[in-house]
Amino acid sequence: MSPWVDLTLSCDSWESNAPYDVVPIDSHMNTIAIYLGAQIADYITHPYASPLFGTFEGLPLLLIQAREAEVLKDEILFWLIKQAFPALRWDMKSMTMQ
């Protein structure tokens, strides 16, 4: 099972891999709105909801899985890099190191 670590849907693989994956985003059931509720704008980048925006110092070893053709691929890879190099500063809008 792949982790969904960025509820902002900001990574490119959400568009490039959409034809090959089954994560329901544009359906009658908006999973993000159901999960976060009425205060979606306040919580969408909170690390409890979108761990990609958190810090990873002190975590134990993790098994992180991602497939080439899934919409979560890019955010999982970026999360893996952030977890491997927690001391580096990251610009979350451009997904680059500062």
Say whether 91 sits in a helix, a strand or coil: strand
Q: What percent of the chain has pLDDT over 70?
A: 83
pLDDT at 65: 85
pTM for the model: 0.78
Question: Residue 44: is its pLDDT beyond 90?
Answer: yes
Mean pLDDT of 43-70: 87
| Burial (CB count <10 Å: 0-12, 13-18, 19+), residue 14 | buried
Backbone angles phi, psi at 96, to 5 degrees: -130, 160
